[in-house]
Amino acid sequence: MSIIDAVAWVIRYADVLAWIVFGTALGGFVTPRFNINTAAIWAGAGLGFATATLTAVLAGLQDLWVVVVAGVILGVALGGYWFGILRFWHPERRAEIRWLERFRFNSLFGQFISHLILMTWVLIVLAPFWVMLVNSLKPKREIFRSPFDFPSADLRTFDGYKSAWIDGNFDVYFRNSIVVSINSILLILIIGTMASYALANWRGRGSSLVYLYFIAGLMIPIRLGTINIVTLVQAIGLNGRLEGLIPIYVAMGVPMAVFVLTSFMRGIPQDLLDAARMDGASEFQVLWRIVVPLVRPALATVVILNLIPIYNDLWFPLILTRSENVRTVTYGVSLLFGQYQSDWNAILSTLSLASVPVLIMYLLMSKQFIQGLTAGAVKG
């Protein structure tokens, strides 16, 4: 079995594998809450694995009620083990268990399970990208004949990329998407940074109300206001122009920026800011020379979390940009899908090219992004 066949097999049985991994992890990680004996932990993981495998094989996990029944069976089996057997297995040692020691991954079993989960997730995530990349180099017939195999030298073709870049007007779509995304991200960072700084230093009841107003933008999808948004864009004369998309994306991204940046800025020591003010720095200088360098991981997090939905958005370009010269990449790709047939070689080639900017951005900012996600996760 080749690597591609293994990936295809994982994708085909992803629901069953995820259920088995969940049962194994549940039995292994929750067992220390009742007993710290290593044998008890392995037994709990084995019971979870056996129960999850048995229910998956017998039921198939195709319907919702089957999943619910399988979950009940797994819960009954592990619950009987925890509350029945482990009650009499070294009960005097329970007091030695500390909460922080229950879920550490320093044991052999913990490392095995964590790596198993991560490798499974990596295969699931990379498989669609691999399929897209290898099929973009094949003729249409070979895409359906062997979708998971890398094309041989005699079958490899770059006609899809040539068609996308020259005939498909991809260069114009690509430029439009980059222009909209970069301008939207810059405005989101500027507005979000200033708003977050004001909220972080505003001590009062009014700051909480304004903060909740921004957070409401995360809970209410902006597409619910499409009719009013289109009316506003037409009223200010931006309908059919790229500039009409930028305010919409800024309104969509500012709540996320405020949510992330405000939490970071409230963690900055106030004495540091007061010292800068005593040295004669204005509030603008305090913000851009002291606060912004300290929250760079949070800024990278905001960039990546907003770049992907803005760059991949189809809804608003489909409504507001109909002309050929103002279409974005996602809108241009959607035009390649026909009612009766689709040029999959050109579609996959275009998608492969369109994914390059996002991948480059993530690789350049991945370190800051990870720091932004993990900052504040531990107290020290």
- Type of residue numbered 299: L
Per residue in 60-118, pLDDT tens? 666 666 777 888 888 888 888 888 777 666 544 444 444 434 445 556 666 777 777 77
Q: What is the pLDDT of residue 182?
A: 92
Whether the CB-CB separation of 204 and 269 falls below 8 Å is answered with no
Residue 264 phi/psi, 5° resolution? -65, -45
- Type of residue numbered 168: G
- pLDDT for residue 37 is more than 50: yes
Joined tokens for residue 380: 């020290």
d(CA 252, CA 84): 52
Per residue in 249-296, pLDDT tens? 999 999 999 998 998 888 888 888 888 888 888 888 888 888 988 888
Joined tokens for residue 311: 């760059």
d(CA 252, CA 86): 51
Q: Which residue has the higher pLDDT, 42 or 309?
A: 309
Whether the CB-CB separation of 333 and 313 falls below 8 Å is answered with no
Going by pLDDT thresholds of 50, 70 and 90, the confidence category of residue 191 is very high
Whether the CB-CB separation of 372 and 301 falls below 8 Å is answered with yes
- pLDDT for residue 51 is more than 80: yes
d(CA 290, CA 201): 14
Per residue in 207-251, pLDDT tens? 888 888 888 888 888 888 888 999 988 898 888 888 899 999 999
3-state secondary structure the chain: CCHHHHHHHHHHCHHHHHHHHHHHHHHHHHHHHCCCCHHHHHHHHHHHHHHHHHHHHHHCCCCHHHHHHHHHHHHHHHHHHHHHHHHHCCHHHHHHCCHHHHCCCCCHHHHHHHHHHHHHHHHHHHHHHHHHHHHCCCCHHHHHHCCCCCCCCCCCCCHHHHHHHHHCCHHHHHHHHHHHHHHHHHHHHHHHHHHHHHHHHCCCHHHHHHHHHHHHHHHCCHHHHHHHHHHHHHHCCCCCCHHHHHHHHHHHHHHHHHHHHHHHHHCCCHHHHHHHHHCCCCHHHHHHHHHHHHCHHHHHHHHHHHHHHHHCCCHHHHHHCCCHHHCCHHHHHHCCECCCCECHHHHHHHHHHHHHHHHHHHHHHHHHHHHHHHCCCCCC
Vertex 20: Cα angle to 16 and 25 (nearest 5) = 145
Asked which of 46-50, 53-57, 338-342 is least confident by mean pLDDT, the reply is 338-342
Whether the CB-CB separation of 80 and 32 falls below 8 Å is answered with no
Going by pLDDT thresholds of 50, 70 and 90, the confidence category of residue 300 is confident
d(CA 357, CA 353): 8
Sketch the domain layout of the chain as residue ranges: 3-145, 161-374
- pLDDT for residue 190 is more than 90: yes
Going by pLDDT thresholds of 50, 70 and 90, the confidence category of residue 374 is low
The terminus-to-terminus CA distance of the chain in angstroms comes to 48
Q: What is the pLDDT of residue 65?
A: 67
Joined tokens for residue 250: 């800024």
Q: What is the pLDDT of residue 192?
A: 93
Q: How far is CA 255 from CA 181, 260, 261, 288, in A?
A: 17, 9, 10, 20
Per residue in 137-189, pLDDT tens? 888 777 777 777 777 777 788 877 877 777 667 788 888 999 999 999 999 99
> Positive or negative CA dihedral for 20, 23, 29, 35?
negative
Adjacent-strand bridge partners of 337:
342
d(CA 169, CA 301): 32
d(CA 301, CA 205): 28
Give the number of other Cβ atoms within 10 Å of residue 79's Cβ. Answer: 11
Give me the CATH code for the 161-374 domain, please. Answer: 1.10.3720.10
